[in-house]
Amino acid sequence: MPEITELVDSDDEFQDAVNEPTPTPKPASDDATVKTNSSIVEEIIKQQSGIGDLKLDDDTPHAGQEQEEETASCSNDNKEAPVYLHDEVDEEALKEREKTMSPEELEANKEKALKMKLEANELFKNDESERAIDIYTEALGICPTKYTKDRAVLYGNRAAAKIKIENKKAAIEDCTKAIELWPEYVRALMRRAKLYEHEDKLDEALADYKRAFELDPGQHEAREAMIRLPPLITERNERLKGEMMEKLKDLGNLILKPFGLSTSNFQMQQDPATGGYSINFNQNPS
């Protein structure tokens, strides 16, 4: 499994699951870490993708809050049907249900969701990522919609769990939901940027790296990517342009053949000033 760094203690209420610097620079912590071994193949994947290092969020309950040992103890007591199907959360249904609930009930649901997050974190650390995903989803099904940062972190942690089971497309979707709820969520931006880069969506990755760097100039990894990716994007675009021109050439030859012509009769010249092309006809190509 990917290397996991166990977070022993945290003062950051919204710390999330990826082993990346916090958005706001803080003094270095003396927190102890416990690491597990990675297989050779997974280590290679981790090095290539840059998304393999994961750590858990909010391992320490808030003051006076005891972490429940069983999933059932953290489950929602509301008798109504859940507002999620598999890992899809119906936000509109959740908002409608909240209209019938008292402030006390909403606050109680928030506390339950936070406990469920802690439980899911433990499952995540124990390499039970699929069960962790289920619990994060249940927490999203009860956490009041007004607590946008708490919900963003739940989506962010669920994305980390999905990365561990190699469901990168769904992880991107969860990162996107987290960012929609918390646009300044630097860790989610960095995570989605790495996922995009892994999926060869370089333009999207660069946009996320730029946004993360704008929010936190201390993100050295984002700054490095802003230097590294533009040449790769240019190289890719030139390659795609060449492939497109070859396809157009084949199509042109097919159309011109009945007239005794070919694309060799037409010469394309690029204007170095504008980068545009002009076409010249040559009756007798060499």
Fill in the DSSP letter of residue 60. S
**At which residue do the structure tokens 């053949």 appear?**
257
pLDDT at 51 (0 to 100): 61
What domains are defined for the chain? 4-218 (1.25.40.10)
pLDDT tens digit string along 41-52? 344 334 444 465
* pLDDT value at 275 more than 80: no
Mean pLDDT across the chain, nearest whole number? Answer: 76
Query: Beta strands 277-281 and 266-270: pairing type?
Result: antiparallel
Among 14-18, 40-44, 238-242, 271-275, the minimum mean pLDDT is found in 40-44
- Pairwise CA distance, residues 98 & 92, whole Å: 10
**Cα R_g (the chain), whole angstroms:** 25
pLDDT tens digit string along 97-144? 999 999 999 999 999 999 999 999 999 999 999 999 999 999 999 999
- CA distances in angstroms from 211 to 86, 215, 224, listed in the order given: 31, 6, 13
- Pairwise CA distance, residues 123 & 158, whole Å: 12
Is 3 exposed, middle or buried, given 0-12, 13-18 or 19+ CB atoms closer than 10 A?
A: middle
Three-state SS for 63?
A: coil
Q: 182: Cβ–Cβ under 8 A, 6 or more apart, which residues? A: 148, 149, 152, 188
User: 186 with 219: CB under 8 angstroms?
Assistant: yes
Average pLDDT over residues 163-184: 96
- Pairwise CA distance, residues 191 & 181, whole Å: 15
